[in-house]
Structures are given as structure tokens and as C-alpha cells.
Amino acid sequence: MDSSRKHIVLLPGDGIGPEIVQAGWQVLQWLDARFEFGLSSETHAVGGAAIAETGSPLPASTLEACKGATAVLLGAVGDPRYDNPQAEVRPEQGLLTLRQELQLFANIRPVKTSEGSLRWSPLKPERVEGVDLLIVRELTGGIYFGDRARGSDESGRWAQDTMRYSEGEIQRVARLAFSLARSRRKKLTSVDKANVLHSSRLWREVVTEVHKDFADITLEHQLVDSCAMRLIDDAQSMDVIVTSNMFGDILSDESAAIAGSLGLLPSASWGSAAPALYEPIHGSAPALAGKGLANPMATISSVSLMLRHSLNAAEQASALDRAVALTLDAGVCTPDLGGHSSTQEVVQVVLQQLEEVCA
């Protein structure tokens, strides 16, 4: 493959997914026209949209395309049509299989406030000002991928999900989290439930062992219940958080209260090799779909992460971050942030701001 070629696979998915991926791609196209990255793209189905088309939430053609991509931009998966106990295939399975097939073992979820964003948070401004967190969520192990079963016996129905971690799985995500902390404020909070769970006790042991190679980083361990509280009342004291798949899922949605809306938070999923996958942390919001109400900022900020980490375009990533901040500061935002702008109106203003920032 031509090494200058940068091929992006777009996976709109369900609900508001198509609108926000469209927004992300518009921004990428604008930057490509300006800076000649040599981008190309192809679009594939995933989630409920793919089930409707092919019967599978991750068709083989979608997976193949992703494997050959420089980076993948995903919208969201989740569709009420398949959201019932009888459903044999679920849209979410498409995303989980994709993460596993691409071996994207770490999901990076930055949460940062700015002067202008404080008013969106339901929390007191003095609790959220200056928050700059990086949640590193283990993404291909734990209870999401452990053995499951359902059955029934004389006492009734039962169901079971298994939370299992190997030391290798913990080591690789811990190493990444420590390295990320090294380029920041050098603090790592490892979050577990070691007072109850075996898998968490192993987690704690292994993270402590990996710490030996990162002696310049301050490591603390915290139980997940107490971390949930700390995110609300003292997130300023944290820098990088590393945690298991499910705890990371929950804590990152919680941290959206710090930023003010789920519609603002981006994410990057990384493995040991390309491609990486970029997606907003929010879901498919079926009630908002097709109405132009979706906040495109989480996806646009995911594009910024893609620029920085997969497209070797750190300068353009900073310009895009600046354009997003200027747009929000100007009060141009969707209804989740109390604004009156549509998805496309927000995108157009981001592009105008980019024009000025890049001038």
C-alpha cells in the first residue's frame, strides 16, 4: 500500500450515527482540501443498520475494510428494534466484535473543562474548573468478553457473566496508561474493586508491578465506588485513570457531567498496531435521530484525536480543538447544551472558525 495514502473507513452505525459521522467527515474533507493529507474514505454498515441489511451486526466486508484502513471513524450503535430479550443478534455486538478483532485494548477518553464550559456542568463551577482527566479504559477483556450463560433450575431463571483478566491484558493497558501519565501531570489512579473481586486484586498486583518501570509516576489505587464519588467532588485532583472495561464504561459516562454533556466527549481506541478507531463516547440516541439535533462536537473532537494520533497532523488537531472551543464560546451549540443550533449549523461555524484559525 502507498504509505502516503490515508484511508478512512466511516462506520455511521445507528440513530444519530450517520449525522455525526457526516459532520466528522466534513471536517476531515475541509482539512484535506487545505493541507493535502491525501485522504480517501469508504462507508460501511455496522450495528442495527448492518443487521437490517445483512443479518450480522459486523458483516465480513465491514471488518475487512476496517483492517485495511489507516483509521476508523465510528458514529454509534444501538437500535430499539433489536433491544429486547428475544433478540438473537444485537447491534452492540458489532462494536464489541470490531474492538476485539482489531485488538483495540485501550480506550482513551479525555475529559477537560474550559472557562466557557463551566456553565454547562450541573456541578458547581469551583468543582469542575481546571479538570483535565484522561480515562484509560481496558477495552477487549473483562466482563464484556467473559463466558456468559443463562439457564433455569428449580429456583427459577439464572444468568451469569464472568469477569476474567489475565496478567498480560492488565500489563499492556497499564503500561500505556503510565506512559500517557508521563507526558502529562505524572499521576495515575488505578481503579478497581479489590476489596471484593479476585480479578481486581490481580489488577492491583499487576499495576503495582508495572509501576516499577515508571518510578517517576505517582500511582494510587482507588476503589471504584469511591472514585465515582471523587469524580463529582474532586476530579481536579486526578490526572490519568486506568480501569477495567466495565468500570471505565460507567465512570466515563459519569464524567460527562463534568464536561456538561455526553455530546462533547470523544474517544480513541488503540491496539498495538494500526488501525485505531475513533468514536464519541455517547450512544445512538434514537429519539434524536434524523432531526438535526445531534451534537457533532464529540465526533469532531474524535477527529482531532485521529489527526493527532493516526494522521500525523498534530498542528491541525490543535487548530481543530481551537475551532471547537471558539464555536462553543460563541454560544453556537445544539439543544443538549441549551443552544438552538442544528448539527449542520454547528459544523458550518466550526469550519468558519477553522478558516480563521488556519489563516
Give catalytic residue positions: 144, 193, 225, 249, 253
Nearer to ligand IPM, 283 or 296 (CB): 283
Cis peptide upstream of residue 275 (ω within 30 degrees of 0):
yes
HSE (side-chain half, CA atoms, 13 Å) at 294: 28
Using the rule CB under 5 A, give the single segment among 152-160, 206-214, 249-257, 346-354 that binds Mg ion: 249-257
Shortest spacing between CB 209 and Mg ion, in angstroms:
29
End-to-end CA distance of the chain: 33
The answer to whether the beta carbons of residues 292 and 20 sit under 8 Å apart is no
Q: Which residues, in sequence order, are CB contacts of 226 under 8 Å at separation 6+?
A: none
Helix, strand, or coil (residue 158): strand
Site for ligand IPM in 61-90 (CB under 6 A): 77-78
Shortest spacing between CB 219 and ligand IPM, in angstroms:
25
Round to whole Å and give the CA distance between 243 and 190. Answer: 6
Helix, strand, or coil (residue 116): helix
Shortest spacing between CB 5 and ligand IPM, in angstroms:
29
Round to whole Å and give the CA distance between 301 and 108. Answer: 12
138 binds Mg ion (CB under 5 A): no
Using the rule CB under 5 A, give the single segment among 73-81, 152-160, 243-251, 300-308 that binds Mg ion: 243-251
In this chain, which residue has its C-beta nearest to ligand IPM? 92
| Chosen residue from 14, 32, 92, 169 binding ligand IPM by CB under 6 A | 92
Residue 13 partner contact from ligand IPM, Mg ion, none using kind-dependent CB cut-offs of 5 to 8 Å: none
Shortest spacing between CB 131 and ligand IPM, in angstroms:
20
Nearer to ligand IPM, 210 or 306 (CB): 306
When computed from its CA atoms, the radius of gyration of the chain, rounded to whole angstroms, is 20
Each residue 202-241 as x (binds Mg ion by CB under 5 A) or -, in order, gives: ----------------------------------------
249 binds ligand IPM (CB under 6 A): yes
Residue 268 partner contact from Mg ion, ligand IPM, none using kind-dependent CB cut-offs of 5 to 8 Å: none
Shortest spacing between CB 283 and ligand IPM, in angstroms:
6
The answer to whether the beta carbons of residues 343 and 291 sit under 8 Å apart is no
Helix, strand, or coil (residue 331): coil
Nearer to ligand IPM, 281 or 307 (CB): 281
Round to whole Å and give the CA distance between 287 and 278. Answer: 23
* Residue 55 Rama label (left phi>0; alpha psi -120 to 50; beta): left
Shortest spacing between CB 266 and ligand IPM, in angstroms:
11
102 binds ligand IPM (CB under 6 A): no
Site for ligand IPM in 280-299 (CB under 6 A): 281, 283
Nearer to Mg ion, 193 or 282 (CB): 282
Nearer to ligand IPM, 14 or 19 (CB): 14
The answer to whether the beta carbons of residues 282 and 95 sit under 8 Å apart is no
At residue 16, φ and ψ (nearest 5 deg) are: -75, -5
Kindly give the interhelix angle for 167-182 and 198-211, rounded to the nearest 10 degrees.
50
Using the rule CB under 6 A, give the single segment among 26-34, 55-63, 92-100, 128-136 that binds ligand IPM: 92-100
The answer to whether the beta carbons of residues 343 and 20 sit under 8 Å apart is yes
The answer to whether the beta carbons of residues 306 and 276 sit under 8 Å apart is yes
20 binds ligand IPM (CB under 6 A): no
The answer to whether the beta carbons of residues 47 and 79 sit under 8 Å apart is yes
57 binds ligand IPM (CB under 6 A): no
Round to whole Å and give the CA distance between 288 and 304. Answer: 24
Q: Give residues in contact with ligand IPM (CB under 6 A).
A: 77-78, 92, 95-96, 249, 281, 283
Binding site residues, Mg ion, CB under 5 A = 249
